[in-house]
Amino acid sequence: MPDAGCTFSSDNLLVPRNARHQRNAERLIDYCYQPKPAARLAAAISYASPVAGLRDELAKTDKEPAGNSPTIPTEAMTAKARVFRSLTTAEDEAFEAAFSELAGA
Q: What is the pLDDT of residues 40-68, one digit of tens each?
A: 888 888 777 788 888 888 888 766 655 66
Reported pTM: 0.62
* Residue segments in the chain with a per-residue pLDDT below the cut of 70: 62-69, 105
What is the model's pLDDT at position 63? Answer: 65
Q: Please name the amino acid found at residue 103.
A: A
Contacts for 61 with CB less than 8 Å, ≥ 6 apart: 39, 40, 43
Phi, psi dihedral angles at 65 (to 5 degrees): -65, -30
Nearest CA to 28 out of 39, 38, 18 is that of: 38
